[in-house]
Amino acid sequence: MDKIEHIGIAVKDLEKSNQLFASLFGAPHYKIEEVASEGVKTSFFKTGPNKIELLEATKPDSPIAKFIEKKGEGIHHIAFAVSNINAEIKRLKGEGFTVLNEIPKKGADNKLVAFLHPKTTNGVLIELCQEIE
Ligand code: ZN
């Protein structure tokens, strides 16, 4: 596993949160992207070498809607860059982690992504992401 690629934050109102985080970072988001298959709309911010992804649910059965219902707004996942997502999935399964997407799926920001179940990672939802070439 490589560096932290981004941190994902679940928000109720993307427009309001875009303003909030623009004030916080002193720069606006640089991209908005909807991932219809996941029922989320995302926006991305850069601050120094770091990237923050805000996630808003676009339908009631979206994983983000369920997360906010249970835990409220806040940090949703930490994403790590990997160079070979399939090899990493295989390795982590071998280590006993529960991989939620054995076949990586297309995520936001031109990435192939897979998640690890938080019950096997001390309550932290971990995303693996590999840049699509
Ligand atoms: Zn993410």
C-alpha span between 115 and 94 (Å, rounded): 15
- pLDDT exceeds cutoff 90 at 1: no
Across all residues in the chain, what is the average pLDDT?
A: 95
pLDDT value for 66 = 96
C-alpha span between 127 and 88 (Å, rounded): 11
How much distance in Å is there from the Cα of 22 to the middle of ligand 1?
A: 19
How much distance in Å is there from the Cα of 130 to the middle of ligand 1?
A: 11
User: 33 Cβ partners below 8 Å, 6+ apart?
Assistant: 41, 42, 43, 44, 108, 109
Residue 133 — pLDDT band, cuts 50, 70, 90? confident
How much distance in Å is there from the Cα of 94 to the middle of ligand 1?
A: 23
pLDDT value for 117 = 95
How much distance in Å is there from the Cα of 92 to the middle of ligand 1?
A: 18
How much distance in Å is there from the Cα of 107 to the middle of ligand 1?
A: 8
How much distance in Å is there from the Cα of 53 to the middle of ligand 1?
A: 6
- pLDDT exceeds cutoff 90 at 118: yes
